[in-house]
Structure 1
Amino acid sequence: MAQPVQDRVVRLAELEIDPARLEEYRLLLREEIEASIRVEPGVLTLYAVSVKGHPDQIRLFEMYRDQAAYEAHLQTPHFRKYKTQTQNMVKSLRLVETDPVLLGAK
């Protein structure tokens, strides 16, 4: 069902992870995503995928209820822990800001 897009914050994150630390990174990412979905009502969607054939190239799709929910997410203990513990694993990070056009889910 399509959702209204006004006020939604949708971002894409393109990360390259140190291959030697990939499994450790994935465990921390899983912990962060599970906590965010469980305890933050403003976090609507967090998807993590890797580029086919390149497991060290992680792509995140993030959707927040609004800007305030996104900013609150950045201040949570679980997100801060993730950022601190993964900072030496992430070789590159590119954040892509978007303008949602149509958001659908089943």
Structure 2
Amino acid sequence: MKYLIKGVLLNFAILITFSCKQQVQNENIVELNSLIIRISEIEIEPNYLDEYISILKEESEASVRLESGVISIFPMFQKENPTEIRILEIYASKEAYKSHLQTPHFKHYKTSTLKMVKSLRLVDMDAIDAETMPEIFRKIKSN
């Protein structure tokens, strides 16, 4: 009987340990169904391009580094027309997006680049294959 009680207690301890560990791991997982995915299409006034890019780089880097709900702020430009900027934005949730809009670095970006933007179009997207997205990010190495 003594060994039976020890065995039950040991199994219970193991079960609690693994379930707590799994819970901690799950806290770091983003729910794919709650993602906010957007492509920002921005045309910049040519005479402000260098200044705009500098401010955008600061904002995108700070967003990804400081905000756990910001998965991607990935700016790029068209090779044949560098004033045509595109930004792939991915947020963990609607709440993460709303929080992002209130950050000092985003507010600085928005207010300091207003005069530089010729046009802005925000295109909300849905992922066709959201299950593959984590694999895409796993493949990227930073050196």
Larger Rg: 2
Q: Is the 8 A contact 2:31 2:92 kept in 1?
A: no
Which residue, out of 43, 47, 54, partners 2:74? 47
1:1-106 counterparts in 2 under 5 A?
5-103=32-130, 104=133, 105=136, 106=139
Higher mean alpha-carbon deviation, 12-21 vs 45-54, is at 45-54
Displaced runs of 4 or more, over 6 A: none
Distance in 2, Cα, partners of 1:79 & 1:73:
7
Q: Say what the alpha-carbon RMSD is for the aligned residues.
A: 1.2
Compare the two structures and name the one with the higher strand fraction: 1
More helix by share: 2
Could you say what secondary structure the match of 1:88 adopts? helix
Question: Which protein, 1 or 2, shows the higher relative CO under an 8 Å CA cutoff with sep ≥ 6?
Answer: 1
Q: Does the 8 A contact of 1:17 with 1:89 survive in 2?
A: yes
Q: Deviations over 1:58-102 (max 9, x none)?
A: 000000000000000001010000000000000000000111222
Number of aligned pairs?
104
Return 5+ residue gaps in structure 1 as ranges.
Answer: none
Contact kept, 8 Å, 1:5 with 1:102, in 2: the verdict is no
Q: Which runs of 5+ in 2 are unaligned?
A: 1-29
Which amino acid is 2:104 matched to? P
